[in-house]
């Protein structure tokens, strides 16, 4: 008898900037990431800001809209500092429900680090090691799609050699 292997797929909470970036370049990447890398979530408050995806199409593109609690919304609204209320809400929800926050915003990323919340850059969704990355690479999302980044540009230099190739990072 063979052992079954369970692959960990994180719960991902995307911010408005990352969602807008993917919605305007290639929405199908959202669906692929949600299926093969980690389940994509977005807060209802952020989703209302993003006009590029209609609410009836959210599920089609692999997005789950999550509602913050009233307590979280109230705390985010009254807190002061550099973060917007949506960013404070993202940190609170990620901490409470175990999301990995996906953002390109430096202040949000710093606060996630301070609070012990896992955080990824938007492009890191495309280069996560493992099954998801290999699947996306096999589908040509790094080389053949004119709307997306090339494999060479997408692979972070600090991670060294590109998996599945003999090529070192640029």
Helix H or strand E segment including 19: helix 16-25
The model's pLDDT over 2-13, given as tens digits with 9 standing for 90+, comes to 554 445 567 899
Give the residue extent of every domain in the chain: 11-130
Dihedral angle sign, alpha carbons of residues 69, 75, 78, 84: negative
Q: For 110-161, write each residue's pLDDT tens digit.
A: 999 999 999 999 988 877 655 455 555 555 544 444 444 333 344 444 455 5
pTM exceeds 0.95 for this model: no
Query: What CATH number matches the domain at 11-130, 3.40.50.2300, 3.40.50.880, 3.20.20.70, 3.40.50.1010?
Result: 3.40.50.1010
The span from the CA of 114 to the CA of 149, in Å, is: 31
100 touches 13 (CB < 8 A): yes
The sheet carrying 39-43 orders its strands as 63-66, 39-43, 11-14, 100-102, 119-120
């Amino acid at each position: 008898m063979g052992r079954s292997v369970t692959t960990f797929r994180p719960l991902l909470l995307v911010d408005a900037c990352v969602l807008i970036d993917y919605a305007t370049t290639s929405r199908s990447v959202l669906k692929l990431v949600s299926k093969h890398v980690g389940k994509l979530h977005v807060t209802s408050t952020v989703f209302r800001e993003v006009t590029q995806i209609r609410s009836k199409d959210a599920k089609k593109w692999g997005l789950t809209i999550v509602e913050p609690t009233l307590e979280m919304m109230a705390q985010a609204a009254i807190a002061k500092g550099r973060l917007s209320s949506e960013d404070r809400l993202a940190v609170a929800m990620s901490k409470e429900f175990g999301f990995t926050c996906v953002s390109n915003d430096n202040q949000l990323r710093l606060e996630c680090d301070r609070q012990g919340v896992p955080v990824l850059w938007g492009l890191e969704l495309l280069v996560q090691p493992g099954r998801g990355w290999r699947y996306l690479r096999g589908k040509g999302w790094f080389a053949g799609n004119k709307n997306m980044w090339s494999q060479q540009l997408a692979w972070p230099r600090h991670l060294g050699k590109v998996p599945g190739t003999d090529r070192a990072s640029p």
